[in-house]
Structure 1
Amino acid sequence: MVTIRAYEDRDWAAIARIHDAARLDELRASVGGEAFRTLDDTYEGEGLFDGAVWVGESDEGAVVGFAALADDELTWLYVDPGWYRRGVGRQLLRHALAATGASCVECTVLDGNTGALALYGSEGFVLRETRSGRLAGNEEFRATGHIMEWRRPPGR
């Protein structure tokens, strides 16, 4: 079981490690690992702290994932590769959706990231459009992204 809580400054090293490992996996399946940049290099330009940030913490107190939501956009969702397929991403996603007051939330998933596409689809996100352009965080590379959209069910 994972507990979701607000990000604290002491979590930086853990989320940087998680991002760097999981981002490599994400890029290898899409534009290629050579496009990788560390969280230290990209967090400011990509607005990690523009909204709320949460971490998933194991029973042992280890940070095993994180998510960020800015207004009506899920901007970050990364899970420690050692914790893939254990429900951490789903818990973080559900927490973010429950915390937002927005009736519609969007996120962008890189083409080739089949795990993320499956997760978002299983939680009610639908494909709104697909775009190609410069890769966020490393504009030297081109990427294709799927813009996914979630709408709050009526009465919730």
Structure 2
Amino acid sequence: MTVAIRPYEPRDWDDIARIHDAARVDELRGAGLLDAYLDLAATYENEGLFDDEVWVAELDGRVAGFIAGSREEITWAYVDPELYRRGIGRALIEHMLSQATGPVELEVLDGNSARAFYESVGFVIESTKTGKLAGYESFEATGHTMVWRPPAS
């Protein structure tokens, strides 16, 4: 099993939509927010998926996950639920962190099992806030801002 990271291409849309739509259910279930579910087609523009770089992970030639963000922030990160715990998320995160020029920030919903994963790669909770769920303003949610800092040289 080989994980390869490459830039997103328009031909990847169907794969990343399928991955997002399946993994988003897991994310929201953990946070007790299943009623807030919207598919990728309904959210990607409003939530700025393509505002920064988007990368896809391939496992043995199959699109298995994707990540988006900049050198300072990870804004989207999803792995195909059928392929959890195979190093795909770690490869995506490590790819983004390898480009960082300083601290990298991300948001994770309270109750999302991904929090433990982010902690395992060095992210720590910087702050916690409860408020309207971005893109789903009729729902209130608690989210954690997590930060990774590069090792001191």
Q: 1:71 Cα shift?
A: 4.6
8 Å Cα contact 1:106/1:147 also seen in 2: yes
> Percent identity, aligned pairs only?
57
Counterparts of 2:134 and 2:70, CA distance in 1: 16
Counterparts of 1:86 and 1:16, CA distance in 2: 20
* SS of corresponding position for 1:149: strand
Counterparts of 2:143 and 2:49, CA distance in 1: 19
Could you list the per-position Cα deviations for residues 63-99 of structure 1 after superposition, in whole angstroms to 9, with x for gaps in the alignment? 0100011351100000000011111101100001112
Residues 1-156 of structure 1 correspond to what in structure 2 (within 5 A)?
1-59=2-60, 61-101=61-101, 103-114=102-113, 116-155=114-153
Counterparts of 2:54 and 2:64, CA distance in 1: 14
Counterparts of 1:92 and 1:46, CA distance in 2: 20
Counterparts of 2:99 and 2:15, CA distance in 1: 23
8 Å Cα contact 2:104/2:147 also seen in 1: yes
Q: What 5-or-longer segments of structure 2 have no aligned partner?
A: none
* SS of corresponding position for 1:66: strand
* SS of corresponding position for 1:92: helix
Could you list the per-position Cα deviations for residues 101-124 of structure 1 after superposition, in whole angstroms to 9, with x for gaps in the alignment? 3x011001100012x111111111
Letter in 2 for 1:41: A
Letter in 1 for 2:52: G
Counterparts of 2:141 and 2:71, CA distance in 1: 24
Q: CA 1:71–1:47 in 2, change beyond 3 Å: closer, same or farther? A: farther
Q: What 5-or-longer segments of structure 1 have no aligned partner?
A: none
8 Å Cα contact 1:31/1:141 also seen in 2: no
Segments of 4+ in structure 1 off by > 3 A? none
Q: 1:31 Cα shift?
A: 3.2
